[in-house]
Amino acid sequence: MISTTVIEQLKQVETPLYYYDLPLLRATVSAAQTAADAFGYHIHYAVKANNNPRILHEISTLGLGADCVSGLEIELAIAQGFQAKSIVFAGVGKTEKEIRLALRQGILAFNVESLEELRVIAILAKEMKIRASVALRINPNIDANTHHYITTGLDENKFGIMMHELEDCLALINSSERALTLVGLHFHIGSQITDWNVFKQLCLKVNAWNNWFIERGIEVPILNVGGGVGINYQDPDGESIVNFSDFFGLFHRFLEPKPGQHIHFELGRSLVANCGSLISRVLYVKRGVKKNFAILDAGMTELMRPVLYQAYHHIQCLTPNRPTARENYEVVGPICESSDCFGKQVELPLLSRGDLIAIRSAGAYGEVMASRYNLRQPLQFYFQE
C-alpha cells in the first residue's frame, strides 16, 4: 500500500520513476529468512531480479547469500556486502573472464550447466592453482506450468546438464587432479510458479537424483533446489508477502536429504516484486470510437514484462479525490511501438492529464530490464525509508 503521505511526496517529483518500499522489503526478506531458519535452509537472493545497489545492500545486511548470473553481478553483490563464500554462479554462458573472477573471489559454487563448461572451469582452475567448487545443474524435466519463456526445467530448454553427460562429468571431476570439487546438485525449473504441486514433483525428482549419485558412492553436501515461487500480481496489498512458512514446509515434508546435506534456495521475485512500483503520470487521455487510451509518460522501456511475457500488473490511480465514476482504458506508453501497452480494458476512475498512476509489483524484472530505446531518460528512484 502506497500511503497518502508518500503520494503527496511523489506528486512533487519527476516521473517516470521506480518507487521502492524498503520497510516492506525488509519485512519480506525477514519473513523468508525466519521461515527458512526453522528448517535450517539457506537462501541465496537471485540478483537478476533486481540489482539496484540500495536493494542489494538492504538484502545483504539481512544475511542472505547471492545467486549471480554474470561476473558483474558477482562484483556488485560483493561491493554491496554479500560474502563471496555465500555466492553461487549460475548461467549457461559463463565467459573465461567471469570464471577467473569467480575463482579469484572464492565463491561457494559454480552451478555448472554443461560438460564443456565443466572442462573450461577445470582448465582455468588448474592454470590458476585454485580448486573450483562445482554443483551440477540437472534438468529434472518438470513442466512448471508457467510462461514458456520462464520455464527452465524441461528437456527442450537450454539449461542444465543432459542425462547422457552426467557420467562424463563425474569422470572429468575424478580425473581433474584436484582442480574440481563436486559440492552440490542444482535444480531450477522456472519462475512465477503458483501451482505448488510442481515443487512437490521437484522434491521427488531431487530425491531420485540424490539416490542416483549415492548409489555411485557420491554424497554431495549441498542440494540446491533453485527458486521460482510466484507472487500474487492481482492483489499486491492483500497478499504482499508470500507464505514462506508453507513454501519451505512443503520441501520439509517431501524432500529427503541425507544426514549432513544442506538445502539451498535461490529466491528473487518473491523477495522484491511487491516492494516496487513504477510511478507514472497521465500525459493525455485519448477517446476513441471503441476504446479510450490513457497515455502515460512510462513505457515498455521502463517495464518490459507486459510486452515480453504478456504479464499482468495491477494498475491504480494514486491521485486523490478522483470522481467515483469509472471507465475502461487501454493503458499505454509513449514508445513508438503498438506493443507498448501495460493493460487493456483496465477499469480506473475517470482520468485527467497529470493524474499519478502506479503500476504495482514491479520490483522484480522491472528496473533490471529497462532500456534506453527511443533515447529515454535515465531511470529515477524514490526510496521509502
Give the domain ranges of the chain: 22-272, 274-384
What φ, ψ does residue 283 adopt, rounded to 5°? Answer: -85, -45
CATH class of 22-272: alpha beta
List 192's β-bridge partners, or say none: none
pLDDT at position 169 over 80: yes
Residues 264-315: tens digit of each pLDDT: 999 999 999 999 999 999 999 999 888 999 999 999 999 999 999 999 999 9
Residues 244-268: tens digit of each pLDDT: 999 999 999 999 999 999 999 999 9
pLDDT at position 154 over 50: no
- Measured distance CA(229)–CA(252) in Å, rounded: 15
pLDDT at position 166 over 80: yes
* Mean of pLDDT values over 360-364: 98
Maximum Cα interatomic distance, the chain, rounded to a whole number of Å: 74
List the CATH code of the domain at 274-384. Answer: 2.40.37.10
Give the rounded percent of residues in the chain with a pLDDT score beyond 90.
Answer: 90
Q: Tell me, what's the pLDDT at 163? A: 84
User: What b/e string do you get for 333-368 counting C-beta neighbours within 10 Å, with b at 16 or more?
Assistant: bbbeeeebbbbeebebbebeeebbbbbbbbbbbbbe
pLDDT at position 155 over 70: no
Cell numbers at 51, concatenated? 540489482
Lowest mean pLDDT among 35-49, 84-98, 142-156, 226-240: 142-156
Q: Tell me, what's the pLDDT at 153? A: 40
Equal fold, 22-272 vs 274-384: no
Sign of CA dihedral 240, 188, 343, 14: positive
Give the rounded percent of residues in the chain with a pLDDT score beyond 70.
Answer: 96
pLDDT at position 149 over 50: no
Q: How confident is the model at residue 357 (pLDDT cuts 50, 70, 90)?
A: very high
